[in-house]
Amino acid sequence: MRTFNYQYLANKTWDNETTGLLSFIHEERGKQALYLKQKPFELEKLIEIAKIQSTEASNAIEGIRTTDTRLRRLMSDKTTPRSRDEKEIAGYRDALNTVHESFDYIPLEVNYILQLHKILMSHTEHSYGGQFKNVQNYISASNAEGETFTLFTPPSPFETPMAMEQLCTEYNRMIGEGKVDPLLLIPIFIHDFLCIHPFIDGNGRMSRLLTTLLLYRNGYSVGRYISLEAKIAKNKDLYYDALYASQQNWHEGKDDPTPFIKYILGTVVAAYKDFENRVNLILDAENTEDIVRAAVKSTIGKFTKATIKELVPSVGEKTLERYIKMLCDKGEIEKHGAGKATYYVRLS
């Protein structure tokens, strides 16, 4: 059975790309603390928006979807899930809320991982929530002809509990020693978790919940304000490519997790950049009109209402529409097309 020993990381030399990503994240964490002191109320508005985007994106990666209206009603807990997909979404909502509200009290231990999985599955009829797999699972893909083939075979159900115990123990040991940057240990842990694939269902969603949990526990809270899951969903192919490249020779302990490390670090970097951009829009503006105007001026070429909404998610839909119309009336932007084909162009 595959065993885990991260001691080699203490003496490993990383390439310039990896060290550059690490340096950027370290710097941005310091900036974020400063921003939060300057505009705490305005930035609090980003939290609920990020939760909605994270829940939507993490489930969409697995093909689980509902309408925007139903999603928002589910997120505000104002409706009962109607379908299997909505039950899965409600479970992720609850698990993500648990991570957001209690990460300081959720150590990386097997029992807590099982409890988080139980919450994830709590709205479904599945009986395996909170339990490791009892049948062999496989990581598969399909070709252009629709034929399915196995990419990777995870450890057996018999090996899984011990593998998870060893994995958590090794991560915690290395974190405790403090000789390896947590930003390196986190993606390596997630990579090994995905290779073990400990559950019958929900492994991908659990990996994203655990990524958020471990980042929070190590002081990297950008995921509270910018959805990491949405970043991953936008680059889903790159995510799977990095994971596949890192899985080669995993069972023999000769795998190289570097591609997956770089992917996760790159995702965190992108989130910090978005966070800084949105903060700057808020800091430079005196009122909502200024915020929308600043967002418009940050675009290049054609843009849509959705483009601006993504830049200023704290501005409500109706309010955004009103200010876009106002900018059109003032001759600062010009509207083209109609309906879903509508787009805008800056004139000044």
* 3 domain-assigned: no
Same domain, residue pair 270 and 303 = no
Q: Where are the alpha helices (DSSP H) in 182-235?
A: 182-196, 203-217, 228-234
Residue 214 buriedness (CB in 10 A; 0-12 / 13-18 / 19+): buried
- pLDDT at position 232, please? 96
For the ranges 47-56, 201-210, 275-284, 328-337, which has the lowest average pLDDT?
A: 275-284
Compute the average pLDDT of residues 318-331: 92
Same domain, residue pair 99 and 56 = yes
Token pair 């039950």 is found at 87
Instruction: Reduce the DSSP state of residue 203 to 3 states and report it.
Output: helix
Task: Report the alpha-carbon distance of residue 192 to residue 171 in Å, rounded.
Answer: 11
Task: Report the alpha-carbon distance of residue 253 to residue 251 in Å, rounded.
Answer: 5
| Per-residue pLDDT tens over the stretch 300-315 | 899 999 888 878 877 8
Identify the domain boundary among 281, 300, 315. Answer: 281
- pLDDT at position 158, please? 97
Same domain, residue pair 74 and 203 = yes
Q: What is the CATH number of the domain that holds 60?
A: 1.10.3290.10
Q: Which two tokens stand for residue 237?
A: 């192919």
Please provide the size of the chain in residues.
Answer: 348
Token pair 């005196």 is found at 286
* 223 domain-assigned: yes
**Is residue 283 predicted with pLDDT exceeding 80?**
no
* 1 domain-assigned: no
- pLDDT at position 285, please? 66
Same domain, residue pair 40 and 139 = yes
Same domain, residue pair 260 and 339 = no
More confident residue, 341 or 210: 210
* 256 domain-assigned: yes
Total count of domains within the chain? 2
Same domain, residue pair 187 and 232 = yes
Range of the domain at 317: 286-346
| Per-residue pLDDT tens over the stretch 191-240 | 999 999 999 999 999 999 999 999 999 999 999 999 999 999 998 999 99
The whole-angstrom distance between residue 110's C-alpha and the CA centroid of its chain comes to 21
Task: Report the alpha-carbon distance of residue 91 to residue 99 in Å, rounded.
Answer: 13
Amino acid at 225: Y
| Per-residue pLDDT tens over the stretch 103-154 | 999 999 999 999 999 999 999 998 999 999 999 999 987 776 777 889 899 9
Same domain, residue pair 240 and 290 = no
Same domain, residue pair 38 and 98 = yes
Task: Report the alpha-carbon distance of residue 179 to residue 323 in Å, rounded.
Answer: 51
Mean pLDDT of the chain: 93
- pLDDT at position 44, please? 79
The whole-angstrom distance between residue 191's C-alpha and the CA centroid of its chain comes to 15
- pLDDT at position 311, please? 80
Widest distance between CA atoms in the chain: 68
Instruction: Summarize the chain as % helix, strand, coil (round to 5).
Output: 65, 5, 30
Task: Report the alpha-carbon distance of residue 303 to residue 332 in Å, rounded.
Answer: 13
Same domain, residue pair 71 and 220 = yes
**Is residue 284 predicted with pLDDT exceeding 70?**
no
Same domain, residue pair 117 and 257 = yes
- pLDDT at position 242, please? 96
Nearest of 125, 139, 131, 46 to residue 87 by alpha carbon: 125
DSSP assigned state of 15: P
Beta-carbon contacts of residue 288 (< 8 Å; ≥ 6 apart): 315, 319, 323
Same domain, residue pair 268 and 296 = no
pTM more than 0.75: yes
CB atoms within 10 A of CB 86: 22
Instruction: Reduce the DSSP state of residue 39 to 3 states and report it.
Output: coil
For the ranges 88-102, 139-153, 255-269, which has the lowest average pLDDT?
A: 139-153
Q: Which two tokens stand for residue 184?
A: 């390196």
Task: Report the alpha-carbon distance of residue 264 to residue 273 in Å, rounded.
Answer: 14
Task: Report the alpha-carbon distance of residue 159 to residue 58 in Å, rounded.
Answer: 28
Distances in Å between the Cα of 261 and the Cα atoms of 211, 224, 232, 266 are: 12, 21, 13, 8
Task: Report the alpha-carbon distance of residue 132 to residue 295 in Å, rounded.
Answer: 46
Beta-carbon contacts of residue 282 (< 8 Å; ≥ 6 apart): 39, 42, 43, 291, 314
Identify the domain boundary among 281, 306, 327. Answer: 281
* 2 domain-assigned: no
